[in-house]
Structure 1
Amino acid sequence: MLKDKTIVVGVCGGIAAYKAAELIRLLVARGARVRVMMTRNAAEFITPLTLQTLSLNPVATETFSLTQESEIGHIRVADSADAIVIAPATANVIAKAAYGLADDLVTTVLLAAQCPLAFAPAMNVHMYAHPAVIENLDKLRTRGATIIEPGAGALACGYEGKGRLVDPAVIVDEVERMLAPHDLAGERILITAGPTQEPIDPVRFVSNRSTGKMGFAIARAAWRRGAAVRLVAGPSAIATPHGVERIDTVAAADLLSATSRNFPWCSSLIMAAAVADFRPKNPAPHKLKKNSAGMVLDLAPITDELPRLAAKKAGRILIGFAAETQDLEVNALDKLRRKKLDLIVGNDVSRADAGFAVDTNIVTMLSADGRVETTPKLLKDEVADVILDRLVAIRTARSKSRPTPLRSTHEA
């Protein structure tokens, strides 16, 4: 998502400066060109050589340097940046930025910058709670800067509380969001993801091969593009995407109930979960013992909630998924029509390079207006954006014919 973007990382003098190495590594891994600038005190905590090695570019440490100015000049650093992130941002640099002081390289670049800015504070809990720091952060927010809130826990100074530099992966997510088109701003997207587990007894269950990777990727992408996102997740080991509200469920009944409760809140529903079609009719209260006679499992159908929700869709956009092993387009089209969806995303889960438990996918999207589109093999993060592009297109087409926006009928 950051391919060919130039991200300038400003490292300040605090114990959390060592985490800048991981931040830079992650940015480079996402395809960004990374330029690093450091305060003099930052170089006491981590060497410029370390950050130069990770960023693959020279590190700027002086405002005016005969050896650096010709190739990295502070104005050129500011002009070249698509985004600037200060991590860790100390109370000192936050104060200087808030009041427009420019007495070193980092603050001079900040004053010259014309791109989005982000600050990731890291300091003692009492410093972070000080009215002056709070006021300075508010000043920066008012000017449009993104403040990436620190985490809470044990601090290097020995105190417990809020002030730890947030995980570098979260900083990368915030940078991606800063640079992404916010074409989903105002959307409230409810997404389901993952498998369900239908109990046979307290130990065993009936489930499927879904891991939730596709649904989680959609949630990440939707938040990045400006939407408010709620994720109803079946059992999954995937970490909750930053900025996303997660609702954990286990069985199909739990997932469908949570979806129904949150449906009035949403403006769009994306049903990416692999919900079971059947459940054991009479789950045993205790662990079933193995015997030579074998066992016959009596299964009962699970009521599909989507048609009922479709009947109450109002102006909502409904997107479903169809995991198939044959006749993909035929089966997906049937599901699109039966469930009165706006779009269905079908994929052949019999392929080794698409479907369950892999990072890539190939999908065929069929829309209610008859449009059919098949993607090449893409990363699921890329497929997520393709799906959301279609959601935006549907919303845009509707707004042209019906300009009144959907209002939430319930604040869940």
Structure 2
Amino acid sequence: MYITGGIAAYKAAYFVRALVKEGAQVKVAMTKAATDFITPMTLKTLSRNRVYTDDMLAYDEIVPHIEIADWSDEAVIIPATANVIAKMAHGLADDFVTSALLASNCPKFVIPAMNEKMLNNEATVRNIKCLKADGINVLEPDVGFLAEGYEGKGRLPATTVILEWINQKSKHAVLDDMRGKRVLITAGKTVEAIDPVRYITNHSTGKMGYALAQEAVERGAEVTLISGPTDLPKVPKVKFIPINTTSEMAREVNRCFEQIDIVVMAAAVSDYRVEKPATQKIKKKSDTLEMKLIKNVDILKDLGRKKKKQILVGFAAETQNLRENAARKMQEKNLDLLIANDVSRRDIGFGSDQNEVLFLRPGHEPLLIGKNDKKKIAQRVFDCIMDF
């Protein structure tokens, strides 16, 4: 939530409180002018989070304007002055608020409040049209008693009106944008038998793939989830196909591939399998045990060779040289989007509820998505896909 320097800034406190009561997590950023109307301490107390101001631009531990941009599911600018509307329309970023807004890819909701003469100025009218053309939601101000002491248009609407408007816009913008799309997602790990008791596998829990499936369903897609063994509950409204081995996953993926629009290969597959698994449990007869491993089919590379209309997304779990290895994989496997993460870190990746990933697309600069819940990462993945 971004508060700018208008007299209606004090009303933002009521809006923060209403959001918190509805169960939302709220972080507030303020322009310097906004702090003249309402203190950061007030907003910190109500939101239960620290408040971002221009002083944060020099914060040592993080890049704060990128942090809040990556964290946000929605950006609400309230009140939006003529000044900040002009800056947004022209891509200016000369303070914390406008820098964060320029970095935000989430839906934006602009709530203008200003004097009627400023609102009706041709420049402001032009700037608001520009915002709408860019896909930014702009709420029409109310007519009422203005700070200048007379009636006019430009008054901030009531909190209940703003909340209802945002909820309607959010539902329309987010939940329906993948309607009609057929999405195939792989998740979890594959297992390769050594004998009837032992097997080769990895540490994947399937959390990222299942979060992706849930997100795609919520946005209206028809989802097929091909999953290796996990301890996770099934995702409602998803066609679920359980598998164990890499070859089983390859068979099911290829069976579905022709009818799919978007493929997201989030599973951690076993690259090798035992050439001749034992039919009985191997007994501990010596200090060493030798097995011959042979390479499994590269499902992702195979899909990259034969894709036509499909958008193909892969994951790269790396422990070193993240960007270099991921870029090579993206090119070799003919991917439209590759999502790379460092699985050597214990605070993200396998088994964690959080992740930090690097998006790579052909012809685009890499985009770092900072540490966040896997649900949020899943949202950013499909936001990126829907921009294709």
Q: TM tier, shorter chain?
A: 0.5 to 0.7
**Structure 1 unpaired stretches of 5+:** 8-23, 33-75, 84-114, 117-175, 395-412
Q: 1:6 to 1:288 in 2, by over 3 A?
A: farther
2:214 is matched with which residue? 220
- SS at the partner of 1:377? strand
How far residue 201 of structure 1 moved from its aligned partner, in angstroms, is: 0.6
2:179 is matched with which residue? 185
1:202 is matched with which residue? 196
2:294 is matched with which residue? 300
2:375 is matched with which residue? 381
> Could you tell me how far apart the structure 2 residues matched to 1:343 and 1:242 are?
26
Q: What are the Cα deviations for residues 148-195 of structure 1, in whole angstroms up to 9, with x where unaligned?
A: xxxxxxxxxxxxxxxxxxxxxxxxxxxx97883421112111000110
How far residue 78 of structure 1 moved from its aligned partner, in angstroms, is: 9.4
Q: 1:4 to 1:274 in 2, by over 3 A?
A: farther
Q: Does 1:348 align with 2:342?
A: yes
What is the number of residues matched between the two proteins? 241
Q: Does 1:333 align with 2:324?
A: no
How far residue 6 of structure 1 moved from its aligned partner, in angstroms, is: 7.9
> Could you tell me how far apart the structure 1 residues matched to 2:250 and 2:194 are?
19
TM-score, normalised by the number of residues in structure 2:
0.57
1:317 is matched with which residue? 311
1:284 partner amino acid: A
Q: 1:4 to 1:233 in 2, by over 3 A?
A: farther
Asked whether the equivalents of residues 4 and 31 of structure 1 are also in contact (C-alpha less than 8 Å), the reply is no
- Runs of 4+ off more than 6 Å: 3-7, 76-81, 176-179
Question: What are the equivalent positions in structure 2 for 1:35-114 lying under 5 Å apart?
Answer: 82=164
User: Which residue, out of 226, 245, 261, partners 1:232?
Assistant: 226
1:276 partner amino acid: S
> Could you tell me how far apart the structure 1 residues matched to 2:358 and 2:381 are?
10
How far residue 306 of structure 1 moved from its aligned partner, in angstroms, is: 2.1
> Could you tell me how far apart the structure 1 residues matched to 2:365 and 2:296 are?
31
Q: What are the Cα deviations for residues 205-247 of structure 1, in whole angstroms up to 9, with x where unaligned?
A: 0000001111110110111111111100011111111211111
Asked whether the equivalents of residues 364 and 373 of structure 1 are also in contact (C-alpha less than 8 Å), the reply is yes
> Could you tell me how far apart the structure 2 residues matched to 1:78 and 1:393 are?
32
1:359 is matched with which residue? 353
2:68 is matched with which residue? none
How far residue 294 of structure 1 moved from its aligned partner, in angstroms, is: 2.3
Q: What are the Cα deviations for residues 234-265 of structure 1, in whole angstroms up to 9, with x where unaligned?
A: 11111111211111000111111111111112
TM-score, normalised by the number of residues in structure 1:
0.54
Asked whether the equivalents of residues 177 and 224 of structure 1 are also in contact (C-alpha less than 8 Å), the reply is no
Asked whether the equivalents of residues 318 and 341 of structure 1 are also in contact (C-alpha less than 8 Å), the reply is yes
Asked whether the equivalents of residues 6 and 80 of structure 1 are also in contact (C-alpha less than 8 Å), the reply is no
> Could you tell me how far apart the structure 2 residues matched to 1:389 and 1:78 are?
28
Q: 1:5 to 1:239 in 2, by over 3 A?
A: farther
Asked whether the equivalents of residues 198 and 251 of structure 1 are also in contact (C-alpha less than 8 Å), the reply is yes
> Could you tell me how far apart the structure 2 residues matched to 1:300 and 1:31 are?
49
> Could you tell me how far apart the structure 2 residues matched to 1:349 and 1:306 are?
19
Asked whether the equivalents of residues 271 and 296 of structure 2 are also in contact (C-alpha less than 8 Å), the reply is yes
- SS at the partner of 1:375? strand
- SS at the partner of 1:341? coil
Q: 1:195 to 1:5 in 2, by over 3 A?
A: farther
Question: What are the equivalent positions in structure 2 for 1:238-317 lying under 5 Å apart?
Answer: 238-317=232-311
> Could you tell me how far apart the structure 1 residues matched to 2:284 and 2:339 are?
41
> Could you tell me how far apart the structure 1 residues matched to 2:356 and 2:345 are?
9
2:317 partner amino acid: A
Asked whether the equivalents of residues 246 and 297 of structure 2 are also in contact (C-alpha less than 8 Å), the reply is no
2:201 partner amino acid: S
> Could you tell me how far apart the structure 1 residues matched to 2:285 and 2:370 are?
49
Q: 1:344 to 1:5 in 2, by over 3 A?
A: farther
Q: What are the Cα deviations for residues 318-337 of structure 1, in whole angstroms up to 9, with x where unaligned?
A: 00000000000100010100
Quote the RMSD (CA, aligned, Å).
Answer: 2.8
> Could you tell me how far apart the structure 2 residues matched to 1:357 and 1:201 are?
26
**Structure 2 unpaired stretches of 5+:** 1-14, 27-157
Asked whether the equivalents of residues 305 and 333 of structure 2 are also in contact (C-alpha less than 8 Å), the reply is no
> Could you tell me how far apart the structure 2 residues matched to 1:272 and 1:374 are?
18
1:196 partner amino acid: T
> Could you tell me how far apart the structure 2 residues matched to 1:6 and 1:270 are?
37
Q: 1:79 to 1:366 in 2, by over 3 A?
A: closer
Q: What are the Cα deviations for residues 341-400 of structure 1, in whole angstroms up to 9, with x where unaligned?
A: 001000000011111000000000100123310011000000001111110011xxxxxx
2:280 partner amino acid: H
How far residue 269 of structure 1 moved from its aligned partner, in angstroms, is: 0.4
Asked whether the equivalents of residues 182 and 226 of structure 1 are also in contact (C-alpha less than 8 Å), the reply is yes
How far residue 82 of structure 1 moved from its aligned partner, in angstroms, is: 4.7
How far residue 317 of structure 1 moved from its aligned partner, in angstroms, is: 0.3
2:145 is matched with which residue? none
Q: 1:180 to 1:393 in 2, by over 3 A?
A: closer
Q: 1:289 to 1:333 in 2, by over 3 A?
A: same
